Amino acid sequence: MKTLIYFLPLLLSASVWAQTSQYSPLQGPADDYLDRAQTLAPQLEGAHTSLRPFLRSDLRKLASQSPDSSYLLTDNALWDSLAPAPKSFWSHFYRQKANLYALQTGDFYFSVNPLLHLQAGGERLEDGSQNLLFLNRRGLRLEGDIAKRLFFSTTLTENQAAFPRHIQNRISQFGAVPRAGFYKVYDSQLTDAPEDGVDYLLAQGHIGFQIMPYISARLGHGRHFIGDGHRSLLLSDFSNNYFYLQLDTRIWRFHYRNIFAELTQDHAPVANGLYPKKYLAAHYLDLKLSKNLQIGLFEAIVFGREQGFELQYLNPLIFYRAVEQGLGSPDNAMLGLNFRWDFLRRFAFYGQVVIDEFVFSEVFRSPSAANGGWWANKQGLQLGLKYRNVANINHLDLQLEFNTVRPYTYTFRDSSASYTHYNQPLAHPLGANFREFLAIIRYQPMPKLQLRAQCTYAFYGQDSSGSNWGSNIHLSYITREQEYGNQIGQGLATHLLYLDLLGSYQLRHNLFVDLGLSFRQEKITGLIESPQALWGRLGLRWNMLERGQDF
């Protein structure tokens, strides 16, 4: 990634002509407001819904056009007038409703917000045993803007947690906390069990600037999400943060994004050692064909180089697969398609296709046929439907989604080019070799109360000891079990049911009280044991997000 640093002085010295904007939190409450607005009142102008996080300027524009805009107006109040000059110590705070402290002087804007998430709960397992669950996250977020042309943001949180059993098992298996990465085990002293908690630090930040009209850049440490669904088969925010350079070109009905990132190869969790690196070059072109029809094309290359970033992939306007072939085809190339169709001002039909490898003559053979089910048929599909204001009930929304990925998709010869980062998938949490159906109901009966119910069913194949049936994308495809006859669910056929209920009440802006109840059951065909768990939690959130555990 040293190569990317060489470009930073050039970018910073470029003429700054157009106004830039800060980003809202990835997968934050504002996302659904913009997503709903695109369905209820489709717009040619403004954000492309498949590229997240969203710019606050896009959300601000939406707020000026929507009758349901109080949250957006409050949450995106950069450069709005502050309350009258403070007359006492306490009046220095909340001069803007969304920010604990804000400062405006000349061309400089700056805000500070505390981050807090306290949660307590309990888990009951199938054998009647019980576990104490807790979450203690504290931190700070700083945001700033210089002359409405250069902006910056930094977030730091210190976290301690005792997770439900399936998450603890995943941490132990892969050596990483989902969406976080490095962790330390410690004794919380809240229970008699030794080393029952995990402790981890999480930081992200970026600076953004306008290179010229229509073209902006962002250099940072964080994550991205591409798609209109609950999941993404192209690029999701499930993995740890990573260092990246992002270029955005927005002109007419196009939004074109380049991402150059430094990733971490799969590794054993060790302290005081340098983890092996790999790199990602990706670009995504989204086009609004009309007010209610969007289509996007995605391409990504993951590669490892001892000497650093491959310079030929820095070309922002080239077909990466052609470059990769010219280098001798040493890297992992993927293609993808994303689409969204809003219709009847009520529905949004969306989906994705991901192609890791594709040989036309092999794809359409039945897995049960002779020479069918070739291992390198590595593709995935997403289809989904969003129904806004169900039965004319305002703010009652239903989302249905189907995801499927064939065995060995996202894999490579070794972790130097697998579609992973810090022992975690860059796309779907289940990796590959699965089918998933999910339904989500959201209801906002009053402005401050939000209710959410989710049901997820997944069918996937797990590996028995020493085997590789294509679900674990961290394994080399060289160790595959068979050349032909591969099909979804091969290996230990597993059925997963996940149910979740969550109610959130906003006491004041971005201060929430949460009450949730979840159930998870995993059945492996042929085995009598069916691990299951029921857990509840009560929490308080201040400027932080509630993240699901649906995997």
Give residue 119's domain range: 29-542
Instruction: Give the whole-angstrom CA distance, residue 472 versus residue 467.
Output: 10
Q: Tell me, yes or no, whether 476 lies in a domain.
A: yes
Instruction: Give the whole-angstrom CA distance, residue 397 versus residue 280.
Output: 36
Chain mean position to CA 120: 25
Instruction: Give the whole-angstrom CA distance, residue 112 versus residue 286.
Output: 34
For residue 458, which phi and psi values (nearest 5 degrees)? -135, 145
Considering only CA atoms, which of 329, 460, 353, 331 is closest in space to residue 407?
460
The answer to whether 320 and 333 are in contact (CB under 8 A) is yes
For residue 506, what are the β-bridge partners? 512
Instruction: Give the whole-angstrom CA distance, residue 408 versus residue 470.
Output: 4
Q: Please tell me whether residue 51 adopts helix, strand or coil conformation.
A: strand
The answer to whether 546 and 502 are in contact (CB under 8 A) is yes
Question: Residue 6 has what pLDDT?
Answer: 45
Q: Tell me, yes or no, whether 437 lies in a domain.
A: yes
- CATH code where residue 137 lies: 2.40.160.130
Domain count, the chain: 1
Q: Tell me, yes or no, whether 41 lies in a domain.
A: yes
The residue behind tokens 């490892």 is 304
Question: Residue 193 has what pLDDT?
Answer: 65
Q: Tell me, yes or no, whether 6 lies in a domain.
A: no
Token couple for 307:
């000497």
Q: At a CB cut-off of 8 Å and minimum separation 6, what does 43 contact?
A: 37, 65, 291
Strand locations in 388-531 (E): 396-405, 420-421, 424-425, 434-446, 449-462, 492-508, 511-524
Q: Tell me, yes or no, whether 10 lies in a domain.
A: no
Its pTM stands at: 0.92
pLDDT in tens, the chain (551 residues): 454 444 444 444 433 333 457 888 888 888 888 899 899 988 887 789 999 988 888 888 877 777 667 788 788 777 677 767 667 777 778 888 889 998 888 889 899 999 999 999 999 998 888 989 999 999 999 999 888 888 999 999 999 999 999 999 999 888 889 988 888 888 776 666 666 789 999 999 999 988 888 899 999 999 999 999 999 999 999 999 999 999 999 999 999 999 999 999 988 777 677 889 999 999 999 999 999 999 999 999 999 888 888 888 888 888 888 887 887 878 899 999 999 999 999 999 999 999 998 776 677 777 766 677 899 899 999 999 999 999 999 999 999 999 999 999 999 988 789 999 999 999 999 999 999 999 999 999 998 999 999 999 999 999 988 899 999 999 999 999 999 999 999 999 999 999 999 999 999 999 999 999 999 999 988 777 778 999 999 999 999 998 878 88
Q: Cβ atoms within 10 A of the Cβ of 475, count?
A: 22
According to the 3-state scheme, what is the secondary structure of 199-244?
A: EEEEEEEEEEEEEECCEEEEEEEECCEECCCCCCCCECCCCCCEEE
Q: Tell me, yes or no, whether 333 lies in a domain.
A: yes
For residue 243, which phi and psi values (nearest 5 degrees)? -80, 135
Q: Tell me, yes or no, whether 13 lies in a domain.
A: no
Element (H, E) at 57: helix 56-65
The answer to whether 492 and 525 are in contact (CB under 8 A) is yes
Instruction: Give the whole-angstrom CA distance, residue 321 versus residue 333.
Output: 6
Instruction: Give the whole-angstrom CA distance, residue 23 versus residue 57.
Output: 8
The answer to whether 268 and 12 are in contact (CB under 8 A) is no
Q: Tell me the DSSP string of 494-550.
A: EEEEEEEEEEEEEEETTEEEEEEEEEEEEEETT-S---EEEEEEEEEEES-------
DSSP code for 127: T
Q: Cβ atoms within 10 A of the Cβ of 17, count?
A: 12
